[in-house]
C-alpha cells in the first residue's frame, strides 16, 4: 500500500484508454500546480497525493483560456493551456505512425473547437467530483451555444457504437444530438502529451499497450511506468486498438483495452 494519503481520488475504468490517459493528465496538471504530486492506480480508482485537490485542479483548468496556436489550421492546430499550467498540446503533429494512429479525429472535425466545448461543459459542478470521467452530457460550442459539438472519440464507450453499419443509420448525417463524456475526452487529449502507449507490434496495426502502476510516482516517471519499465509487481498490461469507425478509414475511435499477460522488471 502507498504510504501517502491521497488528496484526490477519481473513479476509473482502466480498460477504457480515455480513462487511463485522463488519469495521466490529472497527474500532469496536479504536478504543474504542486511539483511534489504523485499518482498511482488502485482497484477502480486513481489517486494523487501531495498535490492540489481535484476541485481546484478542475477550477483552474476550466478557467484557463485555451489558445489556438496556428489559426490557419482549424482541424489540427496545436493548443496552449496557459498558466498556471503552461502546457502545449501538439502530440498529434509528431509525423510518426503512432501520432497518426492516436489522432482519432479527421476531416472537418476541429480539435480546438472540440477542446473548448469539452472544457466549457466541465464548468458544471459534477465535474469536480470523483465521478468526473463518468459524467455524460451533450457538449455545445461555447461560441455558438445552439450548436452541438461531437467529441474526439477517445472514450471507448462510444467506439463500438460509432459505425453506421452497427447502429443501422449515420448519426452525423441525421444531425443527431449525442452524449459525450467531456472530462474523459479533454483529459485524454492532455494526458497523451506526456504519456504515449507503446505499439503492440508490426503485425498488430493500430494496437497499443499501456501499463497501470501501483506505487506513487511523479508525472516525470509516468511515461516509463506506462511502458512497463518500472519495478512494480502490481503493474498490469492492457492492449487497445485505435479502430476505424467510418468506412472512409479516416475517423477513428479507441476501443476498450484487454488485460494481457506481462513479465515485470524487478
- pLDDT of 167 strictly over 90: no
Asked if residues 188 and 152 have their Cβ atoms less than 8 Å apart, the reply is yes
Q: What is the pLDDT of residue 29?
A: 98
Residue 139 CB neighbour total at 10 angstroms? 26
Instruction: Dig out the grid coordinates for 177 from the structure.
Output: 444530438
Q: With a threshold of 0.75, does the pTM exceed it?
A: yes
The domain of 176 spans 6-246
Residue 141 lies in a domain: yes
Query: In percent, how much of the chain has pLDDT > 90?
Result: 79
Residue from 245, 83, 85, 80 nearest 151 by CA: 245
Residue 1 lies in a domain: no
Place of cell 484557463: 64
Asked if residues 211 and 234 have their Cβ atoms less than 8 Å apart, the reply is no
Residue 173 CB burial class (10 angstroms; 0-12, 13-18, ≥19): exposed
Residue 265 lies in a domain: no
Residue 260 lies in a domain: no
- pLDDT of 102 strictly over 50: yes
Residues 204-259 have pLDDT tens digits of 999 999 999 999 999 999 999 999 999 999 999 999 999 998 877 778 999 999 99
Q: What is the pLDDT of residue 232?
A: 95
Regarding predicted confidence, which is higher, 1 or 30? 30
CA atoms 182, 184, 187, 188: torsion sign: negative
- pLDDT of 142 strictly over 60: yes
Q: What is the pLDDT of residue 51?
A: 84
Residue 46 lies in a domain: yes
Q: What is the pLDDT of residue 4?
A: 65
- pLDDT of 8 strictly over 70: yes
Residue 105 lies in a domain: yes
Regarding predicted confidence, which is higher, 201 or 172? 201
Q: How many domains does the chain have?
A: 1
Regarding predicted confidence, which is higher, 112 or 247? 112
Regarding predicted confidence, which is higher, 147 or 167? 147
- pLDDT of 264 strictly over 60: no
Residue 168 lies in a domain: yes
Residues 219-231 have pLDDT tens digits of 999 999 999 999 9
Regarding predicted confidence, which is higher, 227 or 167? 227
- pLDDT of 2 strictly over 80: no
Residue 255 lies in a domain: no
Give the mean model confidence (pLDDT) for residues 41-58: 95
Q: What is the pLDDT of residue 7?
A: 86
Rounded CA-CA distance 263/235 in Å is 10
Measured distance between the N- and C-terminal CA atoms of the chain, rounded to whole angstroms: 18
Amino acid at each position: 500500500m502507498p504510504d501517502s494519503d491521497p488528496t484526490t481520488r477519481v473513479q476509473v475504468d482502466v480498460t477504457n484508454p480515455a480513462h487511463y490517459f485522463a488519469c495521466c493528465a490529472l497527474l500532469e496538471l496536479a504536478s504543474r500546480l504542486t511539483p511534489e504530486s504523485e499518482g498511482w492506480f488502485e482497484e477502480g480508482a486513481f489517486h494523487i497525493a501531495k498535490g492540489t485537490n481535484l476541485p481546484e485542479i478542475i477550477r483552474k483548468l476550466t478557467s484557463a483560456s485555451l489558445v489556438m496556436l496556428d489559426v490557419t489550421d482549424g482541424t489540427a492546430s496545436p493548443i496552449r493551456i496557459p498558466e498556471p499550467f503552461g502546457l502545449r498540446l501538439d502530440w498529434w503533429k509528431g509525423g510518426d505512425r503512432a501520432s497518426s494512429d492516436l489522432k482519432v479525429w479527421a476531416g472537418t472535425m476541429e480539435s480546438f473547437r472540440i477542446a473548448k466545448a469539452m472544457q466549457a461543459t466541465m464548468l458544471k459542478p459534477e465535474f469536480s467530483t470523483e465521478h468526473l470521467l463518468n459524467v455524460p452530457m451533450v457538449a455545445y460550442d461555447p461560441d455558438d451555444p445552439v450548436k452541438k459539438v461531437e467529441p474526439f472519440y477517445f472514450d471507448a464507450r462510444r467506439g463500438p457504437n460509432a459505425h453506421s453499419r452497427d447502429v443501422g443509420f449515420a448519426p452525423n448525417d441525421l444531425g443527431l444530438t449525442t452524449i459525450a463524456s467531456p472530462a474523459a475526452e479533454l483529459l485524454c487529449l492532455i494526458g497523451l502529451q506526456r504519456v504515449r502507449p507503446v505499439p503492440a507490434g508490426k503485425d498488430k496495426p493500430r494496437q497499443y499497450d499501456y501499463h497501470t502502476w501501483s506505487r506513487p510516482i511523479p508525472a516525470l516517471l509516468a511515461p516509463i511506468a506506462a511502458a512497463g519499465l518500472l519495478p512494480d509487481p502490481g503493474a498490469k498490461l492492457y492492449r487497445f486498438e485505435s479502430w476505424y469507425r467510418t468506412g472512409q478509414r479516416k475517423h477513428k475511435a479507441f476501443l476498450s483495452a484487454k488485460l494481457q499477460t506481462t513479465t515485470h522488471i524487478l
